[in-house]
Amino acid sequence: GQNIDQPTEMTATEGAIVQINCTYQTSGFNGLFWYQQHAGEAPTFLSYNVLDGLEEKGRFSSFLSRSKGYSYLLLKELQMKDSASYLCAVVKAAGNKLTFGGGTRVLVKP
Amino acid sequence: DVKVTQSSRYLVKRTGEKVFLECVQDMDHENMFWYRQDPGLGLRLIYFSYDVKMKEKGDIPEGYSVSREKKERFSLILESASTNQTSMYLCASTPGQGYEQYFGPGTRLTVT
């Protein structure tokens, strides 16, 4: 089976930094995705990590440690439009199936 | 841009009705998926398909079936809708392993 855990909700101030953690226990692993989902909209792709380390993409960065079963998404210079849910999803060793965590709702306050 | 469309944004059906949710993608993707999304539970995989006429059960297939007669279209069928199938249904497609999944806008289904 697969357990994927992330915090339910986080609040941060505009301009600040927020780190969303994701821990997983899987029977196989072939990568980890982060998606952003605004209320009432479809999830959109943010990042994909398959090797250990940090991937930076503008204000967003994602980190993976396979040995620890741990990833985080780092959002820098927060903007009001970053208020959304952030979904962590793990790919099993075979195939394209994603298993999602429950999502983390981030609220950015002025 | 990849486009994944779903037949309805909102749908209201009665208990016991047969319900069809349609999904179409325009990028010739091999793989298509159906999820449902419920508060606190995240996205859960119902069924997926790696090729035409091919289907595999996901994590919660009970009460659902699927059809993939053409590469671009993947249909989710609720044989006899029940109130516990009230949910947001999301379709997704991807060209292959290691690629992101592209999601449709979702269908919010209410079963009364």
- Check CB contact under 8 Å for A97 and B48: yes
Asked whether residue A96 carries a pLDDT value surpassing 90, the answer given is no
- Environment class of residue B104 by beta-carbon count within 10 Å: exposed (0-12), middle (13-18) or buried (19+)? buried
3-state SS, residue A21: strand
pLDDT at B89 over 70: yes
Least confident of A30-39, A55-64, A87-96, B48-57: A87-96
Mutation pick from B38, B103, B107 vs chain A, by most beta carbons of A within 10 Å, is B103
**DSSP class of A97:** -
Q: Chain A residue with minimal CA distance to B102?
A: A44
Strand partners, A11: A107
Contact B97 A91 (CB under 8 A): yes
Tell whether the model's pLDDT for residue A1 goes beyond 70.
no
DSSP code at position B5: E
- Please say if the pLDDT value at position B2 is more than 90: no
Question: How far apart are alpha carbons B45 and B19 in whole angstroms?
Answer: 18
A100: how many CB neighbours lie within 10 A of its CB?
22
